[in-house]
Amino acid sequence: MRSFNTRSRIAVAASAALLLALAGCSSDNGSSGGGSVDEAVGQNLDGRGAITFAMGKNDVDKLQPVIEKWNAAHPDEQVTLKELAGEADDQRNQLVQSLQAGNADYDVMALDVTWTAEFAANGWLQPLEGELAIDTAALLPATVDSATYRGTLFAAPQNTNAQLLYYRTDLVPAAPADWKALTDSCAVATEKSVDCLVTQLKQYEGLTVNSTQFINSWGGSVVADDGKTPEVESSESKAGLQAMVDAYTAGQIAKRSTSFTEEETNLAFVGGESLYAYNWPYMYTNAEKDGSAVQGKVAVAPIVGPAGAGASTLGGYNDGINVFSKSKATARDFVAFIQNPENQMSFADASFPPVLASVYDDPALIAKYPYLPALKAALENAQPRPVTPYYSQISKAIQDNATAALTGKVTVDQAAADMSAAIVNAAK
C-alpha cells in the first residue's frame, strides 16, 4: 500500500508541474478568480486558521460529531460545515462553479469517489504529499486507489462502501462459492416461487456499478491506468458483460431488475421475494428489523465471480483540499483527524463504512454488525469505478450500451465496441 510520509517542498514542486500539465486539458483552470492552479499549488502550504468543510446534506450527520470534536480541541482553527445539495449532480455543480472561478469558498470537500480524478485532472485539488502528506498504511488499499490519480494521492479517503451478496439461510445452507454455484442454485428459487437474484439494472448509476462489478470480477476493466484508453473489448471484460447478460436472459437475474434501484432491491429481498440480492450494507439492518419477511434468515458474503469472490465496485467519499485554500496545513490535519480510530469507529456505528482496516476486526462491533467481516473481505477485493477525468461520460456509455445488450438490441461484442468508441470520444 502507498504511504505518503516524506515531507518536502521538492515533492510539491513536482506536483505543481503535474497540475500545470493536467490543467492544460481543462477549458478553465481557475485563473478567473484567485489565481492559476500552478501558482496555487505551491502556496499556503503552512497556512493555518479557520476552514470550511463542504459535503452533501444527506450524510452530514455522520461528520457533525467529528467536526464538534475537532472544534473543541482547536479553538483557533475552527471548522465550519457548509452543506451542499442532496443530489450528487447538484453537489458537483456547486463545487465546480466555485473551483472554476478560482475561489476558496470550500477548504475541504467531501468528493464522491468518482469525482476525484476529474477534480485532480482539472488542477483543483492539492496533492497530499510533501508537507501535506498523510499516512495511508492503515487504510484499505482500494480506498487509497480511488483517491490516487496518475500515481499521486489527491484526496484523503473518508469512508467507503462495497456491495454484498445477501442470501436466504432458510433456502440455501451457505453462500455460493462462485458464479456457477449461484446460477445453479437458482433451481431452489424456482421451486420456492421466488426470484433468484435481484440487483440494480435500471439505466442509472446503479447499472454502472453492476456492469463494472461483472467486468472487474471476470478480470477485465473499463479503462486503462491512464483513465482514457478503453479496455472493455478485452476477452475478460466481454466475458463479464456476457455473464451478466446471459443470467438476465435466462431469468437467473430477475427480469424486473431492469427497473430496480437500490430501494426496489431492498424491498424485494426484505419482503422475501428473492433468494439472493446484490446491495449495499445498509440493507442488512432492514432485513433484520421487525416486520422483515426474512428476519433471522439472512447472511451476507462477498459478491461472486467465475472462480470465487468477485470484485465489488467501491463507493464512498474522498476528502480533497482545495488548491486555492489559504489554510492548507489545517485542512491537512483535519482530513487526517477524520481517519483516526475513534472517528472511524463512529462511522461504523452509523452504517457509514470506515476506511481504517482495523475497525473491521473489532469484536464488539462485529457482535453488533455481523456483516462486517464479509464487508471487509469485499472491500479488500473491491475496485474503484473507472478512475478517469471523464467519468460522467464513461458512466453514460456503460449504462447506454449495457442496457442495449440486456434488452437484446445488440450483442455483447457490439455493446463493448460501442462502449469503447464512446470512451475514445469522451477523452478527445
Domains and CATH numbers, the chain: 9-161+315-379 (3.40.190.10), 164-313+390-426 (3.40.190.10)
Mind listing the pLDDT tens digit for each residue in 58-106? Answer: 999 999 999 999 999 999 999 999 999 998 889 999 999 999 999 999 9
Whether pLDDT at 198 is above 60: yes
Region 295-300 average pLDDT: 98
pLDDT given at position 36: 78
Whether pLDDT at 287 is above 50: yes
**Full-prediction pTM beyond 0.75?**
yes
Mind listing the pLDDT tens digit for each residue in 111-121? Answer: 999 999 999 99
| DSSP states of 267-288 | HHHHTT-EEEEEE-THHHHHHT
Distances (CA, A) of 95 to 104, 110, 320: 10, 10, 11
pLDDT band at residue 22, thresholds of 50, 70 and 90? very low
What share of the chain has pLDDT > 70, as a percent?
Answer: 92
Joined together, the cell numbers standing for residue 87 give 443530489
Region 261-277 average pLDDT: 98
pLDDT given at position 110: 98
Taking only Cα atoms into account, the Rg of the chain, rounded to an integer number of angstroms, comes to 22
Whether pLDDT at 332 is above 60: yes
Mind listing the pLDDT tens digit for each residue in 345-373? Answer: 999 999 899 999 999 999 999 999 999 99
Joined together, the cell numbers standing for residue 29 give 483552470
Instruction: With beta carbons less than 8 A apart as the criterion, state whether 137 and 19 touch.
Output: no
Joined together, the cell numbers standing for residue 148 give 490516487
pLDDT given at position 38: 83
Mind listing the pLDDT tens digit for each residue in 24-70? Answer: 444 333 333 446 788 999 999 999 999 999 999 999 999 999 999 99
